[in-house]
Amino acid sequence: MPWKAVRPRHPASASSSVRAAVVYPFDPNEAELTSSGLEEEGAAQWRLQLEVGDVVVLREEEEQGWFFGHLLHNPGLAGVFPKEYVRVIQVSYTVCTS
Mean pLDDT of the chain: 76
pLDDT score for 91 = 74
Report CA 36 to chain centroid distance, whole Å: 16
Is pTM beyond 0.85? Reply is no
Q: How far apart are CA 26 and CA 48, in angstroms?
A: 8
97 falls in which pLDDT band (50, 70, 90)? low
Q: Do residues 48 and 5 make contact, with C-beta atoms less than 8 angstroms apart? A: yes
Q: Select from 3.30.70.920, 1.10.357.10, 3.40.50.300, 2.30.30.40 the CATH code of 16-93.
A: 2.30.30.40
20-66: pLDDT as tens digits: 999 999 998 874 554 455 555 566 678 999 999 999 999 998 878 89
pLDDT score for 17 = 82
